[in-house]
Amino acid sequence: MDRDIWTITMQAVHRAARAVPHRGRKLKYPHWLIVAMYLWSVFNDRCLSWACDRTHYGALFRPRKLPSISQFTRRVGEDTFQAILQKVHEQLLSCGVVSQVGYLDGKPIVVSPVSKDPDATRGKISGGFAKGYKLHAFVNEHRRIVVWSVMPLNVAEQSVAMELCPHMPPQVLVMADSNYDSAPLHKQMYETSGTPLLTPLKGQKRVGPDGHHPVTLRQMGPQRREAVELWNAHPDLAKFLLKGRNNVEGVFSVLSVALGLCRLPAFVRRLHRTRRWVGAKIILYHARLLAQERLAAAVAAGAAG
C-alpha cells in the first residue's frame, strides 16, 4: 500500500509542477523535487534536515541530487512551493465523486503544555484543556476533505466555519454538531452558497412542548427557523440524517492513526509551518484513500470476471 500511495502522490506532484509556471533561469533542483522531498519527510514524520540526507531514501524514492539544508529550507518557504502543494491537493480531491452532503467538524492537534510556540493557544478538548491548534474541515460523504483550515485551539469553530463558507461547494446539505448551531452561521451559509445547515439545537432539552417563543423564532432568522421546524415536525428524520456525521469522525481517525496527525512533532511550530505540515498530511490521506478505492475496484472487477 505504501508504494501505491507514493506512486499516486508523485504523479500528482509532477502534474502540479508542470501546471505552475516558472520564470527565470533553470533551477538546479526543480520544484517537483523540493515538493517531493517535503512530502517524503512528512510521509516519514521527519524534519526538513532529515530529508537532505541521502541515506534516508530507499526503493520508493531515491533522488539523484539533493539540495543542502539551507537551500531546501529556503525553497520550502517560497510561494511556488505552496502553489504546487495546493495544486496537488486539488488534483487528488478531484478524483473523488461529487457529493451533495457534507460534514463540518474540528480536530485538535496538540503540542506540549510547556511549548514556547507563541501561535499555539490553550483551548478546550474532549475531557479537559490542552495547548495547540485545531484542524477545521469540511468533509463530503465520500470522505474527501474539501475545505480545511488550521487555527489556534482557542478560536471558535463557528468563526472558522463562517470563513470557510465562501469556499464550500454550493447547494449541499451541511451537517455538524451543536457547536455550530448559530443563527449567523445558518444565514452566512445560505447567503454565500445556498447551503442549508443541520445541527442538534442548542438548548433543545430546555424548549417547551410548544417549541421556541415567537419572539425568539423571529429573531433567529429564516434559515435557522427551518432547522427548528424540521426538529419539531420530524425529529426522527433529523436524528437519522445526523448519523452521517460519523463519516467525518472516521476521516479524523485515519488522519490520527494511519498518518500520525494527533500531536505535532517538536520540530513543527508556528502557525504557517503547522498549516503546511497538516496540508501535506491531507495530501497523503487523499492519496491513501484513492489507492484503497483503486484496489477495491480491481478486486471487484476480478471477482466479476
pLDDT in tens, 206-251: 444 445 555 555 556 677 777 788 888 888 888 888 887 888 889 9
Residues 6+ apart with CB under 8 A from 277: 42, 264, 268
Task: Tell me, yes or no, whether 143 and 165 share the same domain.
Answer: yes
Helix (H, G, I), strand (E, B), or coil: what is residue 258?
A: coil
**Domain span including residue 32:** 2-94+270-301
219: in domain: yes
Instruction: State the number of CA atoms in the 13 A half-sphere of 88 facing the CB.
Output: 31
Task: Tell me, yes or no, whether 41 and 81 share the same domain.
Answer: yes
Helical residues (DSSP H) of 25-140, grouped into ranges: 31-43, 48-51, 69-76, 79-94
* Segments in the chain below pLDDT 70: 1, 96-98, 203-221, 305
222: in domain: yes
Please give the pLDDT value at position 287.
96
The rounded distance, in Å, linking the Cα atoms of 111 and 281 is: 17
258: in domain: no
Please give the pLDDT value at position 208.
43
Task: Tell me, yes or no, whether 15 and 156 share the same domain.
Answer: no
Q: Which residues face 136 on adjacent strands?
A: 106, 149
Task: Tell me, yes or no, whether 219 and 240 share the same domain.
Answer: yes
